[in-house]
Structure 1
């Protein structure tokens, strides 16, 4: 007995997408490099190269200060953070750009009616300053910084908060990030994840070990709805 033909299920973009900022949407390493080199120059030290600072950009001010001043112990590095943030605030957006393919990928999500937002560990006030420089202030549906809530990534709270803000259950959202903390936060939130391999990583990082749902080499690959992970 022959049954009725089953219509193919259309593959669509996720119901909502959340992104990390530095190293995922934004190539902000040049701004960070300008910051640490100003700090080093003020102390009579030669500038670093972009390759020196790039791997740790996603790990925040402390990690970059530690690279810039490797002789400092942990307490000494922490003491540099306020200076780093002040100088970075002056360099913010002067040298950074979205990664190639990001604007096209965001436009594809918007054309499909998929809301997108940003969940970053960058202080919220800095994130809110850079978003208008990129022309995203009326496009980004939610912005959560590292100090917006009581917890930051890898805790799931920022992702849970952001998904609620855009009205999409966490299990129907996807989080895209370039650091292990991003993938840990997504897993804890019950949110499918994309490992952004175009981002910033140390040489000994193993993104396979992060156990994200999919790994993507370039933003352009996310123009295909089938490239995105599906809800469990």
Structure 2
């Protein structure tokens, strides 16, 4: 008896920054706007890049290490306002992401985004990337009372599309992505092409598979096996 060919998961969920989108150049422009306002020289991309997936506060800590945490916290609204002006002006999807998304769609699979980025910013990004009509579900960091590593944003996305969690796969470049997926009962993919500080060992996150580049996920066989696709 022949073995049927592997198919993509019925619902693939992705982190955004560092997984689908190389947003580090936009984030760098944002930090450097704030640094210039304070008379500081521009920061280098290599110094900021490892912190991008950790969020605004981590990037502010990298960009303004001389400030107290309370002073950086007060800068968060200015950071978000500056970032809104820089959306998709400098960054772009990682090489291979469009091919991967196209392969999912050609197989009849759906895909969505679960990010800790504020929802209003993520929603502004989608049409700039041409993804607004393609992304089946979007959950932001403030869509719910909790965010990753809590599993509820992933479960919320699955419920919104009537897909059982075990029929989904979550892809992310940060440990909290993989923690959230495991708690949600979803197979997970560690995106090794994303943003990580030196010294982090992604093997310790215990994802189901680790993938070096997005184009590898254009093949169904590279994905961890999800179970079925019917609602619970």
TM-score (norm 2): 0.96
Is 1:23 aligned to 2:18, yes or no? yes
**1:154 alignment counterpart:** 149
Select 1:183's aligned residue among 171, 178, 186: 178
Cα deviation code 1:25-66 (max 9, x no counterpart): 000000000000010011111000100110000011000111
Is 1:44 aligned to 2:67, yes or no? no
**2:62 alignment counterpart:** 67
**1:139 alignment counterpart:** 134
Asked if structure 2 preserves the Cα contact closer than 8 Å seen for 1:18 and 1:176, the reply is yes
Number of aligned positions between the proteins: 227
Is 1:210 aligned to 2:205, yes or no? yes
**1:54 alignment counterpart:** 49
**2:122 alignment counterpart:** 127
SS of 2:190's equivalent in the other structure is strand
Point out where structure 1 has 5 or more consecutive residues left out of the alignment. Answer: 1-5
**Could you list the runs of 4 or more consecutive aligned residues of structure 1 that deviate by over 2 angstroms after TM superposition?**
none
Point out where structure 2 has 5 or more consecutive residues left out of the alignment. Answer: 228-232
Cα deviation code 1:156-213 (max 9, x no counterpart): 0000000111221110100000000100000000000000000000011110000000
Deviation at 1:73, TM superposition (A): 2.1
Deviation at 1:224, TM superposition (A): 1.1
Cα deviation code 1:57-105 (max 9, x no counterpart): 0011000111111012221221111110011111111101000000010
Select 1:171's aligned residue among 142, 163, 166: 166
**1:230 alignment counterpart:** 225
The structure with more radius of gyration: 1
Asked if structure 2 preserves the Cα contact closer than 8 Å seen for 1:115 and 1:166, the reply is no
**1:201 alignment counterpart:** 196
**2:230 alignment counterpart:** none
Which is further off, 165-174 or 100-109?
165-174
Deviation at 1:153, TM superposition (A): 0.2
SS of 1:204's equivalent in the other structure is coil
**Take 1:187 and 1:86, find their aligned partners in 2: how far apart are those partners?**
33
**Take 2:62 and 2:2, find their aligned partners in 1: how far apart are those partners?**
56
**Take 1:7 and 1:108, find their aligned partners in 2: how far apart are those partners?**
23
